[in-house]
Amino acid sequence: MTDNNSNSECDGNCKGCASATSCNDSQKAASGMQQKVEMNVKNVILVLSGKGGVGKSTVAVNLAMALSNKGYKTGIADADIHGPNIPKMLGIEDEKLNSYDGKHIEPVMLTGKLGVVSMAFLLPDKSSPIIWRGSMKNTAIRQFLEDVNWGDLDYLVVDLPPGTGDEALSIAQLAPNIAGAVIVTTPQEVAILDSTKSVKFIEKLGLKVLGIIENMSGLICPHCGDTIDIFGIGGGKKAADELSVPYLGRIPIDPDMRKAGDEGKPFIMRRDGTEQNKETWKHVDEVMENILLQINN
């Protein structure tokens, strides 16, 4: 299969084709694979991790906010169906999704440049669990892409659940113009092992790995300024080197980062001038810039 809508080189074996996720050939539907949805987005950025608790959603929120602050029309799709935390981290968890014509959904607009869609907006209350099998999750993800009135987007950031399951595969098959995937890990070996699986998952789908971010990488002591290696430092860089993928940088542990998420005020909006804040911002700026460099590379 080819990725230019031409079947001149297609043998019909879509499931064994490395280009299948980027292709929209008419034979693809016959093979049982999903065709791309139609939406006006220039770049889709996937944010995923091999395991939970590594700060993946924090990275996704701050990346989307950073892009919108730069003037880009940005959307963030919370594809973590069972654990939709994006609205909480943006301070909009009491909002609801609305339809303007009975079919299309209006995203919740955080600013004029940033729209959000999440299962959290559809729950009757914050503690309600989503008890769905794969087919229902796939339908919801398709609706988040196809039935949301995103308008013309420069970037759509997709926050995926941990692992390489239904949601990640659905997005990879359905979303158009995928610029690549950002893999978030922490420095310890068990997290690195799982993030390695995420890298190989993206590569098997024929998509670009934008790089690995090493999150929670050392704690900067607010008293002496020294770095305390709580989870270690350097595991993400080592994994990136071994897998021959870009290393996007590290983000240290910062209590303000946790506080920002809990209060619904992304860290990307905070600059307080303290030494710890300056040090964290140095790393955050580097990571965000490196992501954009890889997209445009």
41, 176 contact by CB (below 8 A): yes
- Encoding tokens for residue 266? 């992304």
Residue 18: CA count within 13 A, CB half-sphere: 7
Cα radius of gyration (the chain): 19
- Asked if residue 273 belongs to a known ligand binding site, the reply is no
φ, ψ of residue 248 in degrees (nearest 5): -90, -10
Structure-derived torsion over alpha carbons of residues 192, 44, 79, 271, reported in degrees to the nearest 10: 70
Signed CA dihedral, 76, 77, 79, 85: sign only:
positive
Query: Residues with Cβ < 8 Å from 3, sequence gap 6 or more?
Result: 19, 22, 23
- Encoding tokens for residue 156? 């759509």
- Asked if residue 51 belongs to a known ligand binding site, the reply is yes
CA distance 73 to 274: 31
Distance of CA 52 to the CA centre of its chain: 13
φ, ψ of residue 204 in degrees (nearest 5): -65, -25
- Asked if residue 53 belongs to a known ligand binding site, the reply is yes
- Asked if residue 56 belongs to a known ligand binding site, the reply is yes
CA distance 291 to 36: 24
- Asked if residue 50 belongs to a known ligand binding site, the reply is yes
162, 52 contact by CB (below 8 A): yes
- Asked if residue 54 belongs to a known ligand binding site, the reply is yes
CA distance 257 to 144: 28
Annotated binding-site residues read: 50-57
Annotated binding-site residues for ATP read: 50-57
